[in-house]
Amino acid sequence: MEYIKSKIRDVADFPQKGVMFKDLTTAFKDPRALHIIGWDLSQLYRDKGVTKVVGIESRGFIGGSILAFELGAGFVPCRKPGKLPADTISATYDKEYGKDTIEIHRDAITEDDIVVIHDDVLATGGTMAAAYNLVKQFNPKRIYVSFIIELSSLHGRDVLPADAEVTSLIKY
């Protein structure tokens, strides 16, 4: 993980003053780092029977797609309103600076699925909690939660449901 950490760029005061943003795009553009991320993520779920990976817009699409490919699972996008073309279900949640909404196709997941919900960074946890609650409405067999980075000082795990099995490759 030290190699991955060395490829993550810190950006001060983004998206607002006082925030130190962990920018994974610098790791994603490095072939070795991207390979390590994909491999390490997939090893967490290799023997769990995962059938779908839900990636949260937008950086969650990157790791989520790689994870789905590595596991031989389907990929399901979880997007902002109006971006998915068919019938959706949605969840609105509080963010640090307002409210936001995410959506998923109504036919994306079945009760037979084992799902990993993936996003790049666990910060305050609001987006993932909303995505988890959306996926839970489908009553899949099992739901796992995956991040590349977890910012432990923001206590994002505390807002996730108690039954969520959460894994992060890197903790700060």
CA distance 164 to 90: 19
Cβ-based neighbours of 125, under 8 Å, separated by 6 or more: 154, 155, 156, 157, 158, 159, 160
Active site annotation includes 157: no
Instruction: State yes or no: is 2 an active-site residue.
Output: no
Dist. CA 136–CA 132, nearest whole Å: 6
Of the candidates 59, 79, 103, 150, the residue annotated as catalytic is: 59
From 32, 96, 106, 165, active-site residue: 96
- The residues near 1 (Cβ < 8 Å, ≥ 6 apart) are 40, 169, 170
Catalytic residues: 59, 96
